[in-house]
Amino acid sequence: MSSTIFESLSSIKEFLHDQNDSCNIDIQASVRKCMNCLKDSTVVSDLSEDQQTEIKTLLLSLLSKSSNPKETNLLAAISICLLLHQKPAEPAAAEFLTLLELPSPQPSYHQQTLLLGLFGCGKQDLLGVTAPDRRPMSLHLGRAVLLLCSTPYNIFQSFHLLDLLLHQLASLPSLPPSDALTSELLRPAAAALSSSWERQCDGLPELLTRCWAALLRLHARLQPGGEYVDDLLRPLAALPWSSKTKLHTLYVVAQHIGCQELLRRVPDLTSGLVEAASGHHLASISTDLYQEVLQVASDDQLPQLERQLADLLVSDDSQTCQTALLRWLPAAVRCRSASGRRLLTLLPADSVPGWTARLAAVRLLRESDADAGPDAEAALRAGLTHPEPGVRLAAAGACWGRRAVDSPPAHLCPPLLAALVSCLSADSASLRHALCAELRRLVPRLRTACLRGRPPPAHLLQLLRGLVDAVLEGLSPGSSFQRCCTCLVALQEIVSHLYALPAGAGAARKGVVPPQTAVLLRYLAEHRPGGITWDIVTRDSLRTLLLCLYDETDDVRETALKLLITYWIPAGLLTTFDREQLTDWAARLADRPNFHDVETAAALCLLSFEAGRSEAGGPPTELLEELLSAAEGQAEGAKRDLFRAAREAPVHGRLACLRRCLCGSDGAGLTPEMVEKCVNLLEDVVDTMLKALAGQQVDEHGGTAPSFAAMGEAVESVVAAAGGDTTRSSALSNQYQLVLSCCWLSLKECSLFLGELTSYCLSAGGPGMSVTTLRAVVATIRRVLTGCRHKGAIESARLAWSRLSTAALRHASGAVRDVPAAVLRGVLAELRAGGARSSATRRGAGLPMLVHTLLAADRQPGLADSTVSALLEVAASPLPPSPTTHASAPTEQRVEDCSAGSEAQTTDCEPSPSPSGAADADGAEADLPHTIALHILTGLMSDAVVSAQVTSRLCDVTCAALAGLASPVWSIR
């Protein structure tokens, strides 16, 4: 053992001598070994005085390094206290007090850790001894702990120390003198606890409650007569009932002396709780105290408590009403079921809150297996036919019991069905969620009855059949958006519980075996109880869901598509002829310029693709080849005549269909050859659209993104070349909008396609992507990101870049991981070079997005730190000798010039040139690198993910921003 302790000390020495924290020593393991050795008294007795002093010195040096993990420092403190306990009690106490004053007598992390070590070493010898000044050691320790509790530093640990001190003090066989203990420790501790209830700290209320319990036990030992309780309650009388301190203190006192005794000492307790119910921050503690009062209330006190609760349940104050409904009412029914039955008669029947509370009481009574009584069933009958939908749904929820065998009686099923069906057309999302909750109760109960070998109740089967018919009817054409959403979600709840998930769908894709829950359907198919036909997944319901794919809203379309792929396709309801019809109709829709038609076409193509995949056992490559060939032909047509292509066959329609089939089915049809063809096609389409939008400006400015005016002229030239309407007017012509929409939608679709394609290719199990192809994808996305002015296209490119960066940075190949980093290095080099066209847009929208998105995808802090350093270097670099249009006259002068309205002013209002040089013709189309660098830094420091990696550079970034305020360039300022 002695050799082990010296090995540990040697490791600690090496760790302390290493100034850069670069050694590979497991310091925590070394200190733990040292502590385990010091627990053996024979090992300590073999150590000389000098060796013990050396050990304490090393451990104190280690303790002074606050950068160590807390566990390491705590082990060091426990080791020091174990050494002290080997000495006689009084000298050990004196030495510990000396250590407690080092390096400063002020409250500190050093003191807190030493005290935790003392209380955590498992020995209490020092608590009962006398210090050198003849005062009890416990009072010295109490003073130190209370000083820590009064500081804002690590509140939880400080009160944890107080908890340990009070509990260990209460376990001593003899206590210090009563007067000194009360005045110097117990009263100050009570004041510290009372003033801390309002502090915001996780776990603190529970810790304070434990401290109070130990404190009251100490008081009871010192004053068995109970006078201390009056001393504690007296200051509370002046506090309002909205005070946390008052309610929490009353609760711990009630736990100590009993609630009946507390009611005797505080007569206004029940009325005060009613007043406290209006505070949101008091909901939990007021409920706990109310439950304590209910448990000890006499028969004479109960009527008053019940009337008070009934008044709270229908209160005009919403917070009071919610607290009473969600907290006080459950507590009352759990404690006194008779109170719940009496509340049914006390609550008014002429208001919605009254009905909601009555039905909540009925539900609680039924779930508690208590006798609900005749009033409960009468309330259910009336609630199910109430004109308010929320009341009807609350009544529907109250029809069920807690156990799986508890179900509504047969005579309540018809009004229950009517109530649920009436909620299908509700506009409220909360009602939709509540309806789904009722379906989750109904269907599993039917399935459970079948699994147990019993025939399901016929009235529940009729209830479920009626719900299914109502849901399918609600999906018919002409239904409102809210009704379609509610019916689709309800249908999804029903079929997900009735049908086993097919292989490869839903949870099975994640390796989870799908539950076999088709027992109910098999039973119904064999026995047909009550003559009910169960055929939810049929051709009729298939047609109903297919019509939902034409909806213009994404929620309805995507939910219907998910249901069809998960449940209807595996049933084999789509024949080969059906798939051909779907593909033909999707092709016609994809060639329309309307965006919603294209989305419907993509959904139909994916459905046909999944049907062929389910039938053949593999991806139907002929459909993919057909879509790719059609898209390539349309891309060539757009090169020849963009106006005709936009009007008759816009390329983004076929691209959307191809993307959904390839990427919407977990990349089932992706092969290296298909990936190569898709990347080449998308690169070609992006080039065509950007050139069409740039017009003649491409040759003049070497690829700089055109202004909106230049784009307008380019689109007008396309329309004019096709013989369209180019008449100048305040409204854009249909031909103009058609071409412009085709360009933006094509760029947006290409970006989304590239992002999803790369993500699937680089994922585990994907077909892979060569570095050359990946660089081509990166160049295409960057070209859209920095060469566009359309927000939708830029955001799509940003999403694509995020997916690409995330997939590439997680790839096993170092060459693939280096591609995004190489792009970042190129951007920073371009900014350092000071090119006037470092950004393609007025505010550098593209480059900041590119840098920001890449660093958000990379969780390693090294890349972010080096990027910030490079950006700070660019921001601090000297301005060019002729800042041209970037250096402006004062803002007030520019505003005055803009508002003058003279006939000579025909150009856009831009900052006036600096006297040091002539205006550059390009100056208004690009920002200085300094401006771009500051824009990028703004995005990085504003992002919660990235800013956490560069927090250490906050001072440098702040200095750069302050220095920029003094710049003569208006865009930098």
pLDDT tens digit sequence for 400-450: 776 656 778 888 889 988 988 888 877 777 777 777 877 777 777 766 666
Position 305 pLDDT exceeds 70: yes
Tell me the average pLDDT of the chain: 80
Same domain, 152 and 212: yes
Average pLDDT over residues 550-574: 87
Same domain, 77 and 97: no
More confident residue, 956 or 3: 956
Chain-centre distance for alpha carbon 12: 42
More confident residue, 957 or 105: 957
Largest CA distance in the chain: 108
Position 508 pLDDT exceeds 60: no
Residue-wise pLDDT tens digits, 932-955: 888 888 888 887 777 777 777 888
Position 594 pLDDT exceeds 80: yes
Q: Which of 86, 117, 148 is the last residue of a domain?
A: 86
Q: Is residue 60 part of a domain?
A: yes
Q: Please answer whether residues 490 and 439 qualify as being in contact, where contact means their C-beta atoms are separated by less than 8 angstroms.
A: yes
**Predicted pLDDT at 754:** 93
Residue-wise pLDDT tens digits, 116-155: 888 887 666 677 788 888 888 888 888 989 988 888 778 8
Same domain, 73 and 178: no
**Predicted pLDDT at 403:** 66
Q: Is residue 707 part of a domain?
A: no
Q: Please answer whether residues 653 and 640 qualify as being in contact, where contact means their C-beta atoms are separated by less than 8 angstroms.
A: no
Same domain, 869 and 882: yes
Same domain, 817 and 952: yes
Q: Please answer whether residues 368 and 333 qualify as being in contact, where contact means their C-beta atoms are separated by less than 8 angstroms.
A: yes
Average pLDDT over residues 844-860: 77
Same domain, 141 and 10: no
Residue-wise pLDDT tens digits, 878-930: 887 754 444 343 433 333 333 333 333 333 333 333 333 333 333 444 567 88
Q: Which residues pair with 557 in a beta bridge?
A: none
Position 777 pLDDT exceeds 90: yes
**Predicted pLDDT at 656:** 92
pTM of the model: 0.68
Q: Is residue 924 part of a domain?
A: yes
Same domain, 60 and 96: no
Burial class of residue 918 (count of CB atoms within 10 Å of its CB; 0-12, 13-18, 19+): exposed
**Predicted pLDDT at 632:** 92
Work out the end-to-end distance of the chain between its first and last CA atoms, rounded to an integer number of angstroms. Answer: 68
Contacts of 155 (CB under 8 A, 6+ apart): 149, 196, 199, 201, 204
Q: Which residues pair with 969 in a beta bridge?
A: 887
Q: Is residue 779 part of a domain?
A: no
Q: Which of 224, 255, 278 is the last residue of a domain?
A: 224
Same domain, 132 and 178: yes
- Domain of 123 in residue numbering reads as 88-224
Q: Is residue 53 part of a domain?
A: yes
How many structural domains comprise the chain? 3
pLDDT band at 779 (very low <50, low <70, confident <90, very high): very high
Position 876 pLDDT exceeds 90: no
Position 179 pLDDT exceeds 60: yes
Q: Is residue 370 part of a domain?
A: no
Q: Is residue 699 part of a domain?
A: no
Same domain, 24 and 46: yes
Burial class of residue 640 (count of CB atoms within 10 Å of its CB; 0-12, 13-18, 19+): exposed
Q: Is residue 464 part of a domain?
A: no
Same domain, 154 and 55: no
- Give CA separation, 317 vs 312, 314, 558, in Å: 9, 9, 41
**Least confident segment among 227-241, 509-523, 819-833:** 509-523
Residue-wise pLDDT tens digits, 253-299: 998 999 988 988 998 898 888 888 887 788 888 888 988 898 888 88
What percent of the chain is predicted at pLDDT more than 70? 84
Average pLDDT over residues 335-360: 88
User: 419 is written with which tokens?
Assistant: 């109530």
- State phi, psi for 969 to the nearest 5 degrees: -90, 125
Residue-wise pLDDT tens digits, 375-413: 888 898 999 999 888 888 888 888 877 665 677 888 888
pLDDT band at 251 (very low <50, low <70, confident <90, very high): very high
Q: Which of 65, 86, 107 is the last residue of a domain?
A: 86
**Predicted pLDDT at 776:** 93
Position 931 pLDDT exceeds 70: yes
Same domain, 17 and 96: no
- State phi, psi for 154 to the nearest 5 degrees: 50, 65
**Predicted pLDDT at 725:** 59
**Predicted pLDDT at 507:** 41
pLDDT band at 651 (very low <50, low <70, confident <90, very high): very high
Same domain, 9 and 96: no
